[in-house]
Chain A
Amino acid sequence: MGWVLANLELIGSRTVSHLLLAVPAIVLSFVLALPLGWFAATHQWSRATLLTAAGLLYAIPSLPLFVVLPTILGFGVRDAANVIVALTLYGLALMVRSAADALASVGAPVRLSSTALGYSAAGRFWQVELPLAGPVLLAGLRVVAVSTISLVTVSSLLGVDNLGLLFVDGFQRGILAEVLTGIIATVVLALVIDALLVLLGRALMPWTRAARR
């Protein structure tokens, strides 16, 4: 506890840096996964290919990816952009599958009847399919958010500023409290973001609350 109280400012600034890396990656992977998932859900032939590609993407170890990406993209290893791109790729790998499943779960009768009611393809997507797919999309997004926040810490091995630096620094200097603080702070941060997503889901999809048992 003494270590935490003496280093509150440091923990605060590292938490902010942590969020600045994690949040853009989470948002980007959600936004990019939607069209890909939609494509996989509506074009059966592409489904297996897209999902296999996503699975293989997830198989790439994170630390090497942080190192390899700059050689392809031309960023520096410690650039925030490098970390965000890598995290977005992992988020995408998880989210594409969720998005494809979520959009595929909207039944054909629903689609046909909304077309019969006069919805255009775009109108049907935004006003019928997306809201109905919402709960499954949210479930996928929550998994992406939590694992992204945990994964950010690996980039600290390259010297990127985030909560993971507490592990690196604590380990090198033999401060157990610092490592422990880092773990707890990361888990708490993940749980807080997760809870916020649940609240956001309730605000955007009020009907799911009424349907709950």
Chain B
Amino acid sequence: MNYFTEAIAWILDPANAEGSGGVWARSAEHLWYTLLAVLLASVIAIPLGYLVGHTGRGRGLVVASTGAARALPTLGVVTLVGLILGIGLVAPLVALVLLAVPSVLAGAYAGIEAIDPRTIDAARAMGMSDWQLLTRVEIPLGLPLLLGGVRSATLQVVATATLAAYVGAGGLGRFLFLGLKTQDYPQMLASALLVVLIALILEALFEIAERVTARRLHVV
């Protein structure tokens, strides 16, 4: 347990907090990688998920891709892309986007899939076009499940973004690998605690967002 107090002391030590390699800067980097990866994954996966959910075609593809992605070791992807494209941010970003896409895709697709068919029929009977059906019925009703998908993607990415430092990028993983090299336990632990802290904060934000959307949907 002594390591814990040392790790917390390490985090609170002003010498470690400031500067481009400090706790604040690395935390910001970590958050930035996470948001960028989830954003890129959403840009790819949400339209695709809506397309599959709306048309009902390509369902097997979604299920198969989420299954295969689970088996794909992220560390392998990070090192593979790192070797091909060189060290830096691109390699971990590619791996993190790959990691995030299946969850977001499943969320977007399942959100539409889970809507009561009678609701869709009623919307069509009211004369809605495909576009109106998608934007006014399917997307709003699918929002809670989509948020759930983005939430689990974000959690996975925030945890895995520590690997970015392995191929020369920044983020909180820097402290972990630095500590690993020098057998500096408090520093490794400090890095882990900071990542968990960021994960918990993001979880809380998603919890609030989910409650707000749920309440909105009940009112409408």
| A residues whose Cβ falls under 8 Å from a Cβ of B | 56, 58-65, 67-68, 71-72, 143, 146-147, 149-151, 153-154, 156-158, 163-164, 167-168, 170-171, 174, 176, 179-180, 182-183, 186-187, 190-191, 194
A62 — which chain B residues lie within 8 A by C-beta? 159-160
Chain B 62-73 near chain A by CB (<8 Å), digits 1 or 0: 000001101111
Is the CB–CB distance between B68 and A179 below 8 Å?
Answer: no
Is the CB–CB distance between B75 and A60 below 8 Å?
Answer: no
Is the CB–CB distance between A143 and B159 below 8 Å?
Answer: no
CA distance A154 to B173 in the complex (A): 13
| B residues whose Cβ falls under 8 Å from a Cβ of A | 1, 3-4, 67-68, 70-80, 82-84, 155, 158-160, 162-163, 166-167, 173, 176, 180, 185, 188-189, 191-193, 195-196, 199-200, 203
Is the CB–CB distance between B196 and A171 below 8 Å?
Answer: no
B163 — which chain A residues lie within 8 A by C-beta? 63, 154
Is the CB–CB distance between A174 and B83 below 8 Å?
Answer: yes
CA distance A147 to B77 in the complex (A): 15
* Chain A minimum-CB-distance residue to B203: A59
Is the CB–CB distance between B73 and A176 below 8 Å?
Answer: no
Central interface residue in B3, B166, B192, B195, by most chain A CB within 10 Å = B192
A174 — which chain B residues lie within 8 A by C-beta? 83
CA distance A171 to B159 in the complex (A): 21
Is the CB–CB distance between A183 and B185 below 8 Å?
Answer: no
CA distance A150 to B77 in the complex (A): 11
- Smallest CB–CB gap between B146 and chain A, Å? 18
CA distance A143 to B75 in the complex (A): 19
A-B contact list, 21 entries, CB within 8 Å: A60-B159, A60-B199, A63-B173, A64-B191, A64-B196, A67-B176, A67-B188, A67-B189, A68-B192, A147-B71, A150-B71, A154-B163, A158-B180, A167-B76, A167-B79, A179-B79, A182-B73, A183-B72, A186-B72, A186-B73, A190-B70
Specify the main secondary structure of chain A where it touches its partner.
Answer: helix
- Smallest CB–CB gap between B141 and chain A, Å? 23
- Smallest CB–CB gap between A208 and chain B, Å? 19
Is the CB–CB distance between B77 and A183 below 8 Å?
Answer: yes
Specify the main secondary structure of chain B where it touches its partner.
Answer: helix
A150 — which chain B residues lie within 8 A by C-beta? 70-74
Is the CB–CB distance between A170 and B83 below 8 Å?
Answer: yes
CA distance A109 to B189 in the complex (A): 51
* Chain B minimum-CB-distance residue to A168: B79
Is the CB–CB distance between A164 and B75 below 8 Å?
Answer: yes
* Chain B minimum-CB-distance residue to A181: B76
CA distance A91 to B38 in the complex (A): 24
Q: Which of A61, A156, A180, A186 contacts B195 (CB 8 A)?
A: A61
- Listed from nearest, the 10 A-B pairs whose CB atoms lie closest are A64-B192, A61-B159, A190-B71, A183-B76, A171-B79, A153-B73, A167-B79, A71-B3, A59-B199, A150-B73
A157 — which chain B residues lie within 8 A by C-beta? 75, 166, 180
* Chain B minimum-CB-distance residue to A171: B79
CA distance A153 to B80 in the complex (A): 14
Is the CB–CB distance between B162 and A186 below 8 Å?
Answer: no
Is the CB–CB distance between B4 and A61 below 8 Å?
Answer: no
Q: Which of A68, A158, A182, A191 contacts B189 (CB 8 A)?
A: A68
Q: Which of B4, B167, B185, B192 contacts A65 (CB 8 A)?
A: B192
Q: Which of A63, A71, A183 contacts B80 (CB 8 A)?
A: A183
* Chain B minimum-CB-distance residue to A159: B180
CA distance A187 to B196 in the complex (A): 28
* Chain B minimum-CB-distance residue to A173: B83
Is the CB–CB distance between A167 and B73 below 8 Å?
Answer: yes
Q: Which of A64, A72, A164 contacts B73 (CB 8 A)?
A: A164
* Chain A minimum-CB-distance residue to B71: A190
- Smallest CB–CB gap between A76 and chain B, Å? 12
